[in-house]
Amino acid sequence: MSGLSDKVKGAVNKTKGEAKDQFGNATDDHKLQAEGKFDKLKGEVQEEVGKAKDRYDRKDER
């Protein structure tokens, strides 16, 4: 039950979201910007889930 995969997925979504957000801003595409912001938020949540899983796993090992 490793949180590593969640943290990696989160980082990928944050990066993808940042790219969409910046490209949407540069091209004045508000829909793409919104998608980018959503992807960044999704990535942040995924990373936090991964961290929580890691904390749980460490606690479980004791």
19 falls in which pLDDT band (50, 70, 90)?
A: very high
Q: Could you tell me if 56 and 10 are in contact, meaning their C-beta atoms sit under 8 angstroms apart?
A: no
Q: Could you tell me if 33 and 21 are in contact, meaning their C-beta atoms sit under 8 angstroms apart?
A: yes
Q: Which domain holds residue 26?
A: 4-61
| Mean model confidence pLDDT for the chain | 93
- The average pLDDT across 49-56 equals 92
Predicted confidence at residue 2, as pLDDT, reads: 77
C-alpha–C-alpha distance, residues 21 and 19, integer Å: 5
Checking if the pLDDT of 41 tops 90, the result is yes
How many distinct structural domains can be found in the chain? Answer: 1
C-alpha–C-alpha distance, residues 58 and 56, integer Å: 5
Predicted confidence at residue 1, as pLDDT, reads: 55
